[in-house]
Every structure is written in C-alpha cells, then in structure tokens.
Structure 1
C-alpha cells in the first residue's frame, strides 16, 4: 500500500509526482492540479503532500506516521483549505498567506493544500499571487481547480501543472469492489452512472437513498406530459436537492457551533460571555453560504444525471455504438430515440447546460429548473 493507491487511472500523474518527490527533477514551490470533477484533484494533491512529508522510503510509503497524519489532515505542517461558501475572500487569503510563511515545525515542508482555489475572489487571487511570487524556501502551494483557465494567468505561469483525466469506468468499478466491498454488478452500474466521478460512484454504490434519488431523476423525462407535470417535476427536483443539502450540512453545523461555543467559554447554563456574538454570527454566515453551495452542487448533480438520459437517447439516434450510461433503461431509451430527431435531443441537452449556467449565476433555482422542464417537454 502507498499514498498513490487512491489515484484511479492516473498513471502518468503518479509518475510525475513521484519523480518530483524523489528529487529526479520537476520540484516546484507551487503546483496546480486540474481535471474534470471527480477525477481526483484533491486526492492527488493530498497524496503528493503525504509523499513530500514522508519519513520512510520510498517516499509516499503510506504507513509511516507522517503519511497517516497528512492523509487524515492532522499533520502540523499541512494547512488544508476548503472554501465552504460560494467564494473565498481576501481576508481569509491574507491570513492563509501569513500561516504559510512560517517554517515547518516537524516536517520537511510547510504545505498549503487549497481545494477549489477557483473560488478565490479577484482580490484574494491577487493576494495569493504575491505569496507565490516570493515564497519562503520550505513552503509548497498545492492548488486544485477544474481547469487552468480558472486561475489568473499570472498564477498559472508560476505553477507546475498536473493534469488529471477522467478515469475509465472499469478502473472505478475495480476500486469499488476491492476497497469498498461492493458487489461487481453494483460497482459497474455505479461507475457508469457517475460518468468518471469517483466520489459520486462510491456514494451511489454504498448509499441506497442516493440510488433511489437518481431513479427518480431519470423518471422525469417520461413524466413531462403537459405543463402541470413539468412544473411539478421541477419543484420535486429542487426540493430533493434542498433536502439532500440539509442532511449533508445540518450535523456538521451543529458540531461546528457546539465546538465554537465551548471554545468561547459557554457556561453550564448555555450562556455566552460578552463580546462573542460577532464570532458566532460569522460562523452562522459561513454555514449559510456553505448550505447554498451544497444545495447548488446537489442540484447540479441532478442535472448531470438528467443529461445522461438524453446523452443515451442521442447515442441511439446517431447510432454511435458507444455503451449506454443507463443500461437498465435501454428499452425506454430506444422508444424515446424513435420519437424525435437528434436535433430535438441536442436542444434538450443544451437546455440542461444552460440551466447549470443560470444556477451558477445565482438565478432562483426553482425558476431555472421550471424553465428547463418546460423546454424538455417541448424539445
């Protein structure tokens, strides 16, 4: 076992990172990990961080204390940044830069792992640029974004680029079987449905509720018989996303709030010291921002599942011969393919992508999805 084992289908990336760790050339003070959602950008960055801090040989052994601490996020010289909300501001970035400027206390490097670095505001990105231009000698920045273009060109030019690819379905299915104990049939179905997103595949394979929700989403096209059902379907999709987001964030919010209240000196009767209201309000605001982002992410996953349905329809209409994502719906998909031209299916796929863009631009979710379902009904 090594820290590289979780990088599914990323052989060239593993070789690139191993070479840098072993001192064969290519080491840099700033790295940009890019790749499509679910390809394992953060996983690759964390594995690289573990290998850099590893105290055994070969570097990245996966069993020494340093490797375990990095992989668990508890290493003293690792700062993991996960923007909880829609953006990451300049104030937080300046605090991060200050922490990153310190010398490593126990490890070989002071490492900052910045997930979703593309959420940094323009002012935050400029603050980050200054730190990357003149980094301390033992500090390494590991930033993760879907595409290099998501970062300022001045930042990109100072980073070593690591490009991950969408892992093949067979590789994801194998991991689900070997590491998660999933039966082969469920693993294969979940890997196809996730369309290369490893985390999504794992969730579908291990969470019956997630699989049930996806079944409901894929039932939407056949329910769009008139305006009324289209509006009802839109409302159901949005409410399901809200419920999923609430379940995902509620427990975390409670633990965060409890820990902060205790740290601020909450009394046995639940009373807080004077002057602590501001800190609690800041936490509440961050939690609300995270909830908004989580709901949007959940709805985006729903739209991608819906897109997979029409992708399969288009595949059949064009006679492409590629494997269907939703194999279990093959008879229904063939019927849908025979009922209209490819142009109508392409318009439906374009409508789904347009809805995703509207949601990213903060359009009201229900209005955006209602407009989508009406378009899907008419083609």
Structure 2
C-alpha cells in the first residue's frame, strides 16, 4: 500500500495528489512538472484528515517511488524525522509574527537530501494578520525547491492573498462505513463498536478511534448528551454549564501538567540553573529567566486552547444531537449520529417545533464563536444553556 491508500474516504483528493507527485518528479528531472506547484492549501471539516493528506503528499515528494509507503523516506516522514520536513503545530491560541519570521528563514534553506524542502503548517488559520502578511511574501517568492503545505478547515480561514496563491485540495467527511472499516482493520476494534463510534463522531477518524479505545471519553460524551433533557430550569442550566466548563478545565490541567514540568526542567537545565563552578556563565543563567517567562506564557496559552478545544468538542456533540432531533422532526431518511439515544431524540422532537431546534443549533454555534473571541467560558456556556432550555417533560 502507498501513502495515499491510507487516506480514508478521500479518493478524489488522492488522485489530485498522485498527479502532483508525478509532476514533481518530472520537475526534478528537468521536465514541465504539470500539476505541481509550490504552495498547497488542504481544507476540509474536522476529522477529514487534512494533516494526514498533507503528510502523505510530503512523503510522495521525498520518495523516489512517489509515496510507496515502505521506503526510508516514507518512514522518516511518518515518524517525523525527515530532515527536509518541518511540521508546524500551533500549540497556543495563535502563531505569532516572531515565530512566522523564524519559520520563513528556516524554509528558505536548501534541501538537505536534494529533492524538496517541505513546510507542513497545521492550523494555519491561527495566524494573526501580521503573521499572514509575512507568510504571503514567502509564498509569493519562494526558493526553487521549497513547498508550503497549509492546513485549514476552510479556504476562507486564510487571507485571500494567500489562498489565491495556493492550489486548494478539498477533503470531505469520510463515510461512516469507510471509518468503521479503518478502525476494524487498523486498530482491531470490534465491528459493532467501530460502526457505533464512526456514526457518533460523524466520520471523524481520530476522534472515533479515541472514543472506541478510551472509556473515560465515552463517559464524557454520554454526560454531554444527557444535557438537553436536563435543562428544565435556570438552576439546571447554570449547573450544566458549571459542570461542562469545570470538566474542560480539569482535562486541560491534566494535559498541561503532563507537559509543563518536563519543559520547565529542560529549560532550567539548558541555562545552567542549579550549577556551580568558576566556568559557569552567569549571564547565561540570567538569560534563562527570560526563556522561562516565554515558556510559561506559551504553556498558559496552550492550556487555554486545550480547555477551549475540549468545550468545543462537547458543543459539536450537542450540535449533532440537535441535528438528529431536526431529522426526526422532518422524518428525514438520514443516518442519525445518536441512534443509541433514540428515546431522547423522539421526546425532544415531539416537545418542540423545528424552528426551536434550529434556534438551539444557532445558540450553540454562537457560543463557539464567542469562545473563539475569548469570551469568558462560563458566561458563554451559561448563556447557551439558557437558550437550550427545554420545557419539563
């Protein structure tokens, strides 16, 4: 199997990328290189595999066989050790102008192994305007063998001047059957469980995998899906909001604590804290204070983003729930993400009109927008819960 065979439910995108890899090989041989360009934009909904597609394309660019999937080049890309591939992950809330300028300088270097130098930018939509303008200049006048692979949910997430200079690869939500098959064949997940989590996550492969393998994640999802029927009064709304935000905060703290301590220890070791002796550079130790301050700022931003991401995942589960309610209300012959909660869906469908269901979906989406705009999570979620309130059944 080649690297593009691992893309679940993305056959059309795979065809485009294979042709581009052929063009890249032609270009290296002095040919026209049809289909190949220096800047790519991978877009698609959450779980569609934007980063996986970009990584597969990077492997195909490095691989002499254009993505065989088993050579040293493909293996190095898969484990993240290829010297000419730089993967940018935005751990904090944004990727600033300083980091962007440093990235551009690194991307301008010649390839170590002679083929291409590839920058895979995950979450390119998190660049503020100044950083986007700096990146635009690099994309407008790239070095001959530098290739930019940008990943965003939608082309509109990037400024038009950047996306107009990129070739767009649009990925789609993988079918439930394709995700379930991948879980069964790759992770040995039982077929019934694989189909259930694939349907519940609406084609989000990685989330489906975690849901199948992590009992705590399944318990958190069940708690979220029990919220709609519990919202029968203002007190219940406030309690549900507190519980959701508190759960997200605890999960963010757990993730952060697992990373923060090791990073702080490493910084202190690099700058010689705790060392002694005549040869010790006192200026280096003092410089460590600034590096430690920068690290703490990054860690705080990462914790905030993690909390926001946990809440956002819960909100998407709620959107899927009310989408199912709407489907029941209209008798639409579509697959329900929450078929296992059919009794709740039927009860809410009977007790409200489709217009009210749409209003509740709008309230959830508005909450997502407010969280992205740095509104206090407790306030944003409380307001949403009140909008979701149901009559007592």
- TM-score, normalized by length of structure 1? 0.95
**CA RMSD for the aligned pairs?**
1.6
Match of residue 18 from structure 1: 18
**1:46 equivalent in alignment to 2:55:** yes
* 1:22-171 map, 5 Å: 22-23=22-23, 25-55=34-64, 57=65, 59-171=66-178
2:389 alignment partner, SS class:
helix
Query: Structure 1 residue aligned with 2:223, among 199, 216, 221?
Result: 216
1:132 alignment partner, SS class:
helix
Cα shift at 1:211:
0.5
Deviates more, 1:10-19 or 1:149-158: 149-158
Cα shift at 1:268:
6.2
1:32 alignment partner, SS class:
strand
* 1:153-232 map, 5 Å: 153-232=160-239
Query: Structure 1 residue aligned with 2:311, among 278, 299, 306?
Result: 299
**1:274 equivalent in alignment to 2:286:** yes
The whole-number CA distance in structure 1 between the counterparts of 2:146 and 2:220 is 44
The answer to whether the 8 A contact 1:53-1:107 is kept is no
Cα shift at 1:221:
1.2
Query: Structure 2 residue aligned with 1:314, among 283, 307, 326?
Result: 326
Unaligned runs of 5+ in 1: none
Cα shift at 1:307:
1.5
- TM-score, normalized by length of structure 2? 0.92
2:35 alignment partner, SS class:
coil
Match of residue 343 from structure 1: 355
Cα shift at 1:80:
0.7
Match of residue 241 from structure 2: 234
Q: Which runs of 4+ in 1 moved over 6 A?
A: none
The answer to whether the 8 A contact 1:87-1:119 is kept is yes
1:98 alignment partner, SS class:
helix
The whole-number CA distance in structure 2 between the counterparts of 1:331 and 1:196 is 23
The answer to whether the 8 A contact 1:51-1:67 is kept is yes
The answer to whether the 8 A contact 2:101-2:134 is kept is yes
The whole-number CA distance in structure 2 between the counterparts of 1:38 and 1:49 is 19
Query: Structure 1 residue aligned with 2:369, among 347, 357, 362?
Result: 357
The whole-number CA distance in structure 2 between the counterparts of 1:328 and 1:237 is 22
